[in-house]
A and B are shown apart, each in its own frame.
Chain A
């Protein structure tokens, strides 16, 4: 077990290093000069040269990379070329928003998918099951941003029940915070929920065919209670795998949804930083996202063991 965790941590470290090099290289070859963007249209060549020196852009790439990475290892993500502020606290601030969004989206997805997926499996020969499958098929085909735009049109612009975007921190006004979170969470969660419903359905169908459930049915339990009592834990293993994969999709989806709903999360920070060639900020954000994805995978692996006791002895 300890060895497995150690191996995981090693993979995590190597992945982060590789990702940081790739991101750094991409930003280096991307056309556009951060100093020029920061100084604007009337910058003189002397001023440009001075600013490039201030930013350290005149140093060799390897040196730039090493000094950045050295800082990151000590928790210092550097200062933004554009805002002049420290990037680290910004990352924490923005990550908070994104985590709320992803968490709420996940919640919507799970709350939808587990009962509907199970029902679709139990009713798989009936109209109800076909209807749920059809609807989830439709949901899979809708991109999150489109769902977002439609939700805004209906609930914000036409009915004016909910805000069309913007962010209120929960500790400032909890009611306003929740109202603002509903539409973004739905637009992320509905689509993911549709995907997840299909996995839950097939996992449950699989479980329904198992001997122990047949035994339970033979003892007189009706299908749904039988499933709840004996089948769900088994069906959960593949579902958790998919959840882990989806969490990473959700992070990516959040980038787009943050834009639609004007949420000051990591996604909108990433887009702004790329267009401003705020290289240090982009590198920092991508690093955080990479670590987030790797940590999710790590946690999913641990969860298997929790859900399925057979895996505890297997390791």
Chain B
């Protein structure tokens, strides 16, 4: 028997040796930081793989753009030291940071800017590439001066340049984007263990401020309880974003931790299928919006944290205004409107993403709507697979709840084919005028667009998802707001 047991052990050893490869044991050295996330990147190539997890890990940390978004949502310089915009708002002249190299040693010049922007159109496969459609061409004026000429004026373009489409690549560093990213950022990818972690190491040749932490381990822990336990038991130093609100007080009441609460771009939306009856009747949409007590809903769905919204605009956008009081909770008025619309016997199918915030919100929506005589059948759909197919693509729903995380996604209300089936030519016009105008015109037009969709009750914006970051006391410089696509490690102290 002894022989057999040792044979079995030997087999185990062999198998585990196959699983070799360096990885992250969280060492507690002073220059090492471990950050816990819930969503793991599928690979490192955000030019061909969609989702927020890859840019969250790599943007600003490994890849840099000409411009970046700071914690308050403002566009600030990065690889471009400065830029000017021509009178007709079509030509952008970028003066580039000198002395920058990629992590493979190649120098960064205007050629790389041209290469990267052109490459979005030719090599990127994900739909976000359409954000570069507005670019006519890129000129290399001199090695430190790149000129981008747009087909038509677009404020949205410079904003988009703060995201992944603006990431600067080197022609010498795109051979294996999925496995080996090459950027100009303060960190480079050292190793990864799928299902566990990614290890970032400080780039010794970084042109800017040297990062305080030489090694940053990004730990991926899907289960919220396990994520919390990892912080409580010293397995990690930071939770990038708390997804279970009930767990926050235990961190607030523990003097080992700092809890930061800020905002995101994630509007949790009760969408109506506006393309079909009864939701093509504005009175029905208004009635349902009036019937729902959003403050109470936020208390239930996210422990009262987060922001009650009145439109598709988070407070970090320049055209934000508080429209939360536009439809006060008023069941009596709601009933009257339903009667006017001839919908006193309404039943709807509420098909929500099977995520905790959405199913919790759905319960409140159903009970509030029951109070005005609307019967609601809640159907949780497996997210993303089933929800994307049935609600988003096939438009097979009456109402739905999901979080919309993209920045400035109010523009989706200018697209009648989008799943909310909202078609208002005026909103379309306002959004396109905003993009083409001066910054002042942009703010004015976007405000008007936001007010219009609110007046139309195009959807019910339940609340803005909060960003709650928990960190050990020693970690400083974390941003409270999550407004860019990046989990920005560069400001950590």
- Chain A: how many interface residues by the 8 Å CB criterion? 64
Give the interface centre of B15, B219, B390 by most chain A CB atoms within 10 Å.
Answer: B15
A276 vs B234: C-alpha distance when bound (angstroms): 30
A8 vs B50: C-alpha distance when bound (angstroms): 46
B49 proximal to A (CB < 8 A)? yes
Least Cβ–Cβ distance between B148 and chain A, in angstroms: 23
- Asked if B193 contacts A160 (CB within 8 A), the reply is no
Residue of B nearest to A45 (CB): B393
Contacts of B128 in A (CB 8 A): 42
CB contact between A172 and one of B23, B234, B392 (< 8 Å): that residue: B23
Q: In the complex where A90-B194, A152-B229, A264-B193 touch, is A96 in contact with B389 (Cβ < 8 A)? A: no
- Asked if B15 contacts A96 (CB within 8 A), the reply is yes
A311 vs B395: C-alpha distance when bound (angstroms): 64
- Asked if A99 contacts B232 (CB within 8 A), the reply is no
A157 vs B250: C-alpha distance when bound (angstroms): 12
Least Cβ–Cβ distance between A98 and chain B, in angstroms: 9
Q: In the complex where A31-B389, A92-B15, A97-B19 touch, is A275 in contact with B382 (Cβ < 8 A)? A: yes
A262 proximal to B (CB < 8 A)? yes
B75 proximal to A (CB < 8 A)? no
Least Cβ–Cβ distance between A251 and chain B, in angstroms: 14
- Asked if A275 contacts B385 (CB within 8 A), the reply is yes
- Chain B: how many interface residues by the 8 Å CB criterion? 57
What are 13 of the A-B contact pairs (CB < 8 Å)? A32-B386, A36-B388, A39-B126, A39-B127, A43-B50, A43-B127, A82-B42, A165-B229, A165-B235, A166-B219, A173-B25, A261-B226, A265-B195
CB contact between A170 and one of B16, B127, B130, B226 (< 8 Å): that residue: B16
Contacts of B130 in A (CB 8 A): 44
A84 proximal to B (CB < 8 A)? yes
Least Cβ–Cβ distance between B58 and chain A, in angstroms: 15
The A218-247 residues at the B interface (CB cut-off 8 A) are: none
Q: In the complex where A41-B392, A47-B127, A262-B226 touch, is A83 in contact with B43 (Cβ < 8 A)? A: yes
CB contact between A157 and one of B193, B232, B386, B388 (< 8 Å): that residue: B232
B384 proximal to A (CB < 8 A)? yes
Least Cβ–Cβ distance between A302 and chain B, in angstroms: 10
Least Cβ–Cβ distance between B65 and chain A, in angstroms: 20
A60 proximal to B (CB < 8 A)? no
Contact pattern, A 17-46, Cβ under 8 Å of B = 1, otherwise 0: 000000000000011111011111111100
Which 10 pairs, one residue from A and one from B, show the smallest C-beta to C-beta distance? A32-B385, A264-B195, A40-B50, A96-B19, A164-B229, A156-B233, A42-B127, A164-B233, A168-B25, A96-B15
A95 proximal to B (CB < 8 A)? yes
- Asked if B16 contacts A96 (CB within 8 A), the reply is yes
Q: In the complex where A95-B15, A259-B222 touch, is A166 in contact with B385 (Cβ < 8 A)? A: no
- Asked if A166 contacts B235 (CB within 8 A), the reply is yes
Contacts of A41 in B (CB 8 A): 50, 384, 388, 392, 406
Residue of A nearest to B196 (CB): A264
Least Cβ–Cβ distance between A212 and chain B, in angstroms: 21
Contact pattern, A 270-313, Cβ under 8 Å of B = 1, otherwise 0: 00100111000000000000000000000000000000000000
- Asked if A169 contacts B19 (CB within 8 A), the reply is yes
CB contact between B226 and one of A103, A260, A265 (< 8 Å): that residue: A260
Residue of A nearest to B129 (CB): A47
- Asked if B393 contacts A38 (CB within 8 A), the reply is no
- Asked if B196 contacts A262 (CB within 8 A), the reply is yes
Least Cβ–Cβ distance between A146 and chain B, in angstroms: 12
- Asked if B18 contacts A32 (CB within 8 A), the reply is no
Contacts of A74 in B (CB 8 A): none
Residue of B nearest to A89 (CB): B18
- Asked if B12 contacts A40 (CB within 8 A), the reply is no
- Asked if B234 contacts A33 (CB within 8 A), the reply is no
Contacts of A160 in B (CB 8 A): 233-234
A165 vs B232: C-alpha distance when bound (angstroms): 12
A40 vs B389: C-alpha distance when bound (angstroms): 10
